[in-house]
Structure 1
């Protein structure tokens, strides 16, 4: 092969590269956060919960996939809808953006006015 990079473009991750896990201070900065809606059923019942979501970001910092790790089922859908709209700074390793996965905690709490 002459004049190129076999199998891709220089500076981009390999096709179908598997994301790797990051945690704590290694999680990239959240750039855009959409707050989840409070499920009406849960609000009416005065329910509160903590939902743990595993998020996978692509090389651009977009959440490409999300799944529930734990929490109360009534909150699952709204937690996933919100997290899928979040945007992070791309995760860079040796100058190359990489897909990653990590967990996020969403707290659904009632506040009194």
Structure 2
């Protein structure tokens, strides 16, 4: 049950602790918005952008292998030629966001040919690999063939 006041106050004081925002505002504004804000904006702003990728991602699925822009053939070591050693060296490489080979690890090697393969691959240059439109480091496997003629 409500009872009407005996005397109506001329002005009602706002309660302490309630944020009434900025007086006035603009047509189409949002309650709790920022003065001079963006038309069509939302309270609280935009959601955070995805965190930048700092660890290398592996080629596969949505991550496409970068294209090689610069190839350097390995120098066949004399001792390997004399021993008639030939075959395939398989390497795991990390490609920087700029397309440079920064890290090389031998997955399957031939002792007399491994270093020649590593030295050549470290000079290769690739197109940057993009993830959500941003260049990222990528890990991929490469093979280097050594064949005597």
Which TM class, normalised by the smaller chain length? Answer: 0.7 to 0.9
Unaligned runs of 5+ in 1: 1-9
**What TM-score comes out, normalization by structure 2 length?**
0.62
Q: Deviations over 1:50-69 (max 9, x none)?
A: 00011101110100111111
Structure 2 residue 80 is matched with structure 1 residue 47:
no
Structure 2 residue 57 is matched with structure 1 residue 20:
yes
Higher helix share: 1
Deviation at 1:109, TM superposition (A): 0.3
Higher relative contact order (CA 8 A, sep 6+): 1
Match of 1:72 in 2: 110
Q: Deviations over 1:50-106 (max 9, x none)?
A: 000111011101001111110211111111101111000000111100100000000
Aligned residues: 99
Aligned equivalents of 1:23 and 1:110: distance in 2? 33
Deviation at 1:23, TM superposition (A): 4.3
Q: Deviations over 1:18-65 (max 9, x none)?
A: 101104992110000111000111101111110001110111010011
**What TM-score comes out, normalization by structure 1 length?**
0.81
Residues 96 and 85 (structure 1), Cα distance of their counterparts in 2 relative to 1, 3 Å cut: same
